[in-house]
Structure 1
Amino acid sequence: MKKRMISFASLGLVCATFFLSCETKDQAAEEQLDVALETPAKIISNAKAATLFQNDQHTRLSQIGKANTSFKDKAIHFDLETLENYINRLETVATSKNIPITGASFVFGADANGKRTVFLMPSTRNADLDYQESFTIENGQFLTFKHVDSSLKPQNSSQNDENLVFSTNGFLSFNEATSLFNNYQNQYIQPFAKKVTKDYYTKAVWYSLDEFKGYINYLKKQSDKHHIAITGVDVFFGVYDIDASLELKSNAQTIFLTASTQKQTIVNVTGKSLQSLSKQDFFAKDSKETNESLTFNEGHLSPPPPRG
């Protein structure tokens, strides 16, 4: 009888171990699935981020006499909470004014001293030209901000009464945004166009509202999970490789986003800084590794190339 009891007990232990093992495996699989679902599709590896950053230095700044631009002047900082509030505001405006806001574009600009910047504008799809066109509203008037134009004309009267154009220095009027946009054309696109002929030159990068929200939520979760004080998003100009497989993105200007603390720009959950990464031999690293990355890219470049 004792032997039979021992046998049943042993069988019970085997079964318990089996089911616990299955449960552990299922739990691990679920956790991996959760991580995969929570990681935005446009998160890129640190190697890609460093490549974009260095390409910008070598193929743009160095080519137009701005090779001495400091790292500090390359970082365009947005407060994380303020950025989240701005995206939420666009959703509110879309509902209250019945405007089909599809997302927001980082529009390229430069100040009077030639320092590059970006500012955010809501976008709606231009069906005729087949691209995401930025706009703002002033004095009840809907004003488009056409990236397809080489320069924009200021309005006779302009004020940021709706607060739809968001910059690192607060909200801008249409005319203030126009001035930055035209400065970028004169100081960055025209000098480069004299050396490299392209069908079009990037003037903005678009993301959907869901992509913005997904990235912000991702940074907040990574901040809590890894005990990193992420307080903002830093935007950097980048340039894609000269690669025929990239088609229209080959040698194209873009921007990429990554996290920042109060002290520095960081590109992964270990707190690695972009500045230190770009100085190292990052090419040997696995370019597909994104599990620890905090960097966001692959936005839609604007304007589109001219139709043939």
Structure 2
Amino acid sequence: MALIFTALIATPLERPAEMRSVSESARGIDWSNLPPLERFQARDGTWLGFRHYAPKGTATDRGAIFIHGSSGSSGTVNHALTAAIAAHGVETWALDARGHGASGTRGDIGYVGQLEDDLVDFVAHVRKSAPDLPLTLVGHSAGGGFSLRVAATPIMQDLFVRTVLVAPYLGYDAPTNKPHSGGWANADIPRFLGLAALRKLGIDCCAQLPVLAFAVPANSERILTPTYSDRLMRNFATHGYRLDLPAVTHPMTIFGGAEDEMMISDKYAETVQAIKPSVDVKVIEGVNHMGMVTNPKAVNAIAEDVATRGSGQS
């Protein structure tokens, strides 16, 4: 027990060096049409942030809820994609997942499973103004992993007609990952293993400790979330892609970028379709990880997919 507790504190979590491909992805984005931040109240009384994009042009009578990637929020570079989805006639909501942006304590949540509870509460809030709108869940990177987790959960499957995963992080054991996510993330392995050992002993403590750090720029904490606690890291992810994929009952599409510096996109199809052959996988040439939510080529392809493909398509 003493060795376990020593592991929790002995090795400090180190933030990796800034990842330029992520930091520079904000260049050229039109922020003039970023919707104002709104808030709704979750079941625990916490006010969580989101942005609402009204559909433009010819309305499709479809809706989408977007989940950002690790460290991000509804007001970061994924705005290029959410705005494009709305421009294709899809009413779109971008959520600040708890622990990010304007939602709760940065880098932490109260318990594993709270993010699912928040999403149920958010859909209930959306239903006040759009009671019958078919909703597609769209998630990028770690938000894509969380969206897979959601798609495999029985209570969630009735909330969404379809799921779209954009450059998803499928879990630590997925063959689609590059080591340390290509330099984006650094984990405190001794602390993580120590906390896991405590849970196996029936001791659920210290899950608020940070275990994962991201390669965000210095002094960016006002906008980005630099670290995740153990419980946020475990919740904002899949249960394990081998566990989640067989439980998915609604249509699912995965988009990857051929030049992704964090994921190995050409392995998505073989990895996922070996378990769930019905999952559609598309790889976009010439696009890197953040380009999947900022590059016009990728943004338009994903937005058109969300706007035109129905719940009956896989």
Q: TM-score range by the shorter chain?
A: under 0.3
When normalised by structure 2's length, the TM-score is 0.21
Higher strand share: 1
Which has the greater radius of gyration?
Answer: 1
Higher helix share: 1
When normalised by structure 1's length, the TM-score is 0.21
